[in-house]
Structures are given as structure tokens and as C-alpha cells.
Amino acid sequence: MTKSLFFSLLTSFVIFSCDRFDADKEICTTCKPSSEPIRKVLFVGWDGVRSDALKNASTPNLDSLILSGIVSYNCDRGEFTVSVPGWSTILHGVWPNKHNLSENSFRKNNYEDYPDLISLAKQFKPNLSATVLTNWDDFLRITSNEDYSQRYDNDEQVTDAAAQLLDQCTPDIMILHLDYPDYIGHRLGFSSSGMEYRGAIEVSDFYLGKLMEKIYAREMNYNEEWMVVVTTDHGGEGTGHGDQDDLEQTRKVWSVIRTPGATNHELTQMNSVDLVPTMLKWLGITGLTNLDGVSLN
């Protein structure tokens, strides 16, 4: 083997190794008690849900949130219509030209210069408690500095674990990722009329209802005030969503932002990068200059 070939293979191994999920690094099991007595954030990501399919689905729990907040069915999630760039845009509050991710890989990330929601919040309030729960390993790589982060086998387990944590430590920031709509979309099609795809969205709404039972009870019994944000990272066409920047059904998604006591307000247009500054402002954090979005509350 030549020296140049050896170093080429070594470099490839190092790059590949750095881009693999590391459970020792990403999984944390400390359920740290909350530090904020009143205002808190619940973020729920439904992976791969088209706006038109959402409108056709029966989602009574999401509809209840819409009555108390902001909704947009024309939310630009930006270019590079796969999950890692999408969730990075949403949870870091900057477009891909800043977080530097264009595919389902983290090799070129610029997270150090453009931190995620949890890291930004803890710069100002280091005692905040934060949790991230998902059944997709790589979702845990999008955020950092959380106190509790765990992967599960399915969305039901994610939801049940989140409900338990709401009672046990009641995080100030809780981030959930539910994958079932994307799973069905890749197998049976992302379609506004597909019964199975619509059913997967309705299952996600059922899980949202289980979480909201806890949230409503905490607001009533403990005087807490929860901002609940529900959104998606992309839509889709056929059984895919990659390289579909020019398709409205893939790039233009939806977002819901609920706050207690608010009234319904539909935005004709918004951007996914607006969600981070909106959540930070709810927690009393403003004035960040590196973000691409604006607060909507």
C-alpha cells in the first residue's frame, strides 16, 4: 500500500467515525429539576408532515392549540429538503448557509458559531433544565447541553417517557421528535389524500393529546405557563423528499405556536428560523444578533 493511499483511507475513516452517532456522548440520564417557576417551552417535532395532508387529517389536539395561538401553513423551512438541515434550521434559528448542513450528515456543521436553542438559552440562564427525547439517533446530535437526552424504540415510548419527566422534573425546555409520519411517507407515500399517511399524522396528534393533558394540568395546578410549539422539518412527494427545494408540498410546511390565553392568529407566511427567537423571548431572552429569524410573540 502506498503512503498516499494509506493516508487517504485513514482520513476517510476519521471523517466517517466523526460522523457516527456516539451514545456515550449524546445520551444523558439526569432529570434535572426546573429552575423557572412559570414560563416553560414544549417543542414537538412531527417528522415529514405535508401542510395539505395535515389539513385533511383529524387532529383535534393540534386544533385546540391553534385556537390559542399562531398557525401558518406556509412556513418556509429553507433549502436542502432532508431532515438534518431542516431540524438544524429550526432548532438553531439560522439558514443552511450558516449552520452549513445540506445533507443528512454532520461532518461540515458550524454549530459552534451558531448554537442550538438549548445552548443559547443556557448562555443567559445556565440553570435551566432541558430534555430531548426521540427514536431517531441523529436527532440527539442537533442539540447540545441538555440535561436529559434519550432515544426510544418508537413514538409511543417517546411520549410516555416525556409524560413521566413532566411529573418527575418538569423541564424548562422539553424537545420531542416523533417520526411515524415520515416512516409511513417513505414506505407508502407522502400524499395529501393517502389514508395511511393521514393516519400516521392522526397518531401523532393522539400522542400530542397525552402530553397536553399533563401540560393543562400543570398550568391549572402549579400556575405554570407553557409555550407549545409543534412543527415539521419537511413535506414530501412520492416516497421521498430529497432535492425538492422547488416543490411547495415539500419546502413550505406548517408551524403552530400556542401560549395560554392567546387567541387564534393565522400568518400567511413565516419562516422556520422564527421559532428559536420566539421560544427564547418566551423564556425572557432577547437581543441575540446571530439569529436569522424574528420573534413572533
Residue 267: predicted pLDDT: 97
Encode pLDDT of 176-215 as tens digits: 999 999 999 999 999 999 999 999 999 999 999 999 999 9
> Around 77, how many Cα atoms within 13 Å sit in the side-chain half-sphere?
37
Question: Is the model's pLDDT at 7 over the cut of 90?
Answer: no
At residue 267, φ and ψ (nearest 5 deg) are -95, 130
Predicted confidence (pLDDT) per residue in 222-258, tens digit: 999 999 999 999 999 999 999 999 999 999 999 999 9
Domain boundaries defined on the chain: 38-282
**pLDDT score of 21:** 65
**What pLDDT digit, counting tens, does each position of 138-166 carry?**
999 999 999 999 999 999 999 999 999 99
Q: What's the pLDDT at 40?
A: 98
CA 23 to chain CA centroid, nearest Å = 20
Name the pLDDT band for 1 (thresholds 50, 70, 90). Answer: low
The predicted-structure confidence for 56-75, as pLDDT tens digits, reads as follows: 999 999 999 999 999 999 99
> Cα(126)–Cα(131) distance, rounded to whole angstroms?
14
Mean of the pLDDT values across residues 121-145? 97
> For residue range 247-287, what is the model confidence (pLDDT) as tens digits?
999 999 999 999 999 999 999 999 999 999 999 999 999 99
C-alpha cell at 17: 467515525
| Geometric angle at alpha carbon 125, from 123 and 129, rounded to 5° | 110
Look at residues 190, 183, 211, 151 and name the one whose alpha carbon lies nearest to residue 47: 183
Burial class (CB in 10 A: 0-12, 13-18, 19+), 115: buried
Taking a C-beta distance cutoff of 8 angstroms, is the pair 35, 167 a contact?
no
CATH 3.90.550.10 fits 38-282, yes or no: no
Alpha carbons 48 and 184: distance in angstroms, whole number: 9
Average pLDDT score over residue span 105-117: 97
Q: Please indicate whether residue 20 or residue 118 has the higher confidence score (pLDDT).
A: 118
The secondary structure of the chain in percent helix, strand, coil, rounded to multiples of 5, reads 40, 20, 40
Asked whether residue 12 carries a pLDDT value surpassing 50, the answer given is no
Asked whether residue 81 carries a pLDDT value surpassing 80, the answer given is yes
pLDDT for residue 5 is more than 80: no
